Structure 1
Amino acid sequence: MLHPVGPLPAAVYWRRRLAVLVALLVLLGGLGWLLLSLVPGSGSSGPAASPTTAAAPAEPPALERVVPAVSGVRTPGTTAPPSAPPAPAGPTPGGSCTDEMLGLEVRTPGTAAVGAKPTFELVVVNTSPVPCVRTLDKQLQELVMVDAAGARVWGSNDCFPESSSDQRTLAPGEPVVFPVRWGGLTSEPTCTAERVTPSPGDYVLRGRLDTKVSGDAPLTIG
Structure 2
Amino acid sequence: MTQKKPLPEEIYKRRRVAALIIVLVLAVVLIWAAVAAFGGSSDEPADTAAPAPTPEQTSSSAAPETSEAASETAAEASAEGASESKAAESEPSSAAPASSEAAKKTCDLADLQVRTSMLNYSVPEGELPKFFMTVTNPTAADCKIDLDKNLLRFEVYKMADNQRVWSDTDCYASVQTGSQTFPAGKDVKFEAEWSRQASKPGECTDRPTAEPGAYFAHTVIGDNSSPPQDFTLR
Instruction: Map residues 88-167 of structure 1 onto 2, 5 A cutoff.
Output: 90-92=103-105, 95-99=106-110, 101-108=111-118, 109-128=120-139, 130-135=140-145, 137=147, 140-148=151-159, 149-162=161-174, 164-167=177-180
Distance 1:169 1:104, change over 3 A: closer
Question: Cα offset for 1:118?
Answer: 2.4
Cα deviations by residue, 1:11-70 (Å, 9 ceiling, x for unpaired): xxxxxxxxxxxxxxxxxxxxxxxxxxxxxxxxxxxxxxxxxxxxxxxxxxxxxxxxxxxx
Which residues of structure 2 form unaligned runs of 5+? 1-99
Provide the TM-score with structure 2 as the length reference: 0.50
Question: Cα offset for 1:198?
Answer: 1.1
Indicate the percent of aligned positions where both proteins have the same amino acid: 20
Distance 1:169 1:200, change over 3 A: closer
The separation in 1 between residues aligned to 2:153 and 2:205, in whole angstroms, is: 19
Instruction: Map residues 80-95 of structure 1 onto 2, 5 A cutoff.
Output: 90-92=103-105, 95=106
The separation in 1 between residues aligned to 2:209 and 2:130, in whole angstroms, is: 16
Cα deviations by residue, 1:63-115 (Å, 9 ceiling, x for unpaired): xxxxxxxxxxxxxxxxxxxxxxxxx99522xx33341x211011122111234
Tell me which residue corresponds to 1:185: 197
Tell me which residue corresponds to 2:215: 203
Question: Cα offset for 1:193?
Answer: 5.8
The separation in 2 between residues aligned to 1:192 and 1:183, in whole angstroms, is: 12
Provide the TM-score with structure 1 as the length reference: 0.52
Tell me which residue corresponds to 1:84: none
**8 Å CA contact retained: 1:140, 1:209:** yes
Distance 1:164 1:98, change over 3 A: closer
Tell me which residue corresponds to 1:168: 181
Which secondary structure state, in structure 2, belongs to the residue aligned with residue 176 of structure 1? strand
Question: Cα offset for 1:176?
Answer: 0.6
Which secondary structure state, in structure 2, belongs to the residue aligned with residue 215 of structure 1? coil
The separation in 1 between residues aligned to 2:144 and 2:157, in whole angstroms, is: 28
**8 Å CA contact retained: 1:97, 1:132:** no
**8 Å CA contact retained: 1:114, 1:198:** no
Question: Cα offset for 1:141?
Answer: 0.7
Question: Cα offset for 1:181?
Answer: 1.3
Tell me which residue corresponds to 1:68: none
Question: Cα offset for 1:136?
Answer: 6.1
More helix by share: 2
Distance 1:175 1:219, change over 3 A: same
Question: Cα offset for 1:168?
Answer: 1.0
RMSD, matched Cα: 2.4
Question: Cα offset for 1:164?
Answer: 2.6
Which residues of structure 1 form unaligned runs of 5+? 1-87
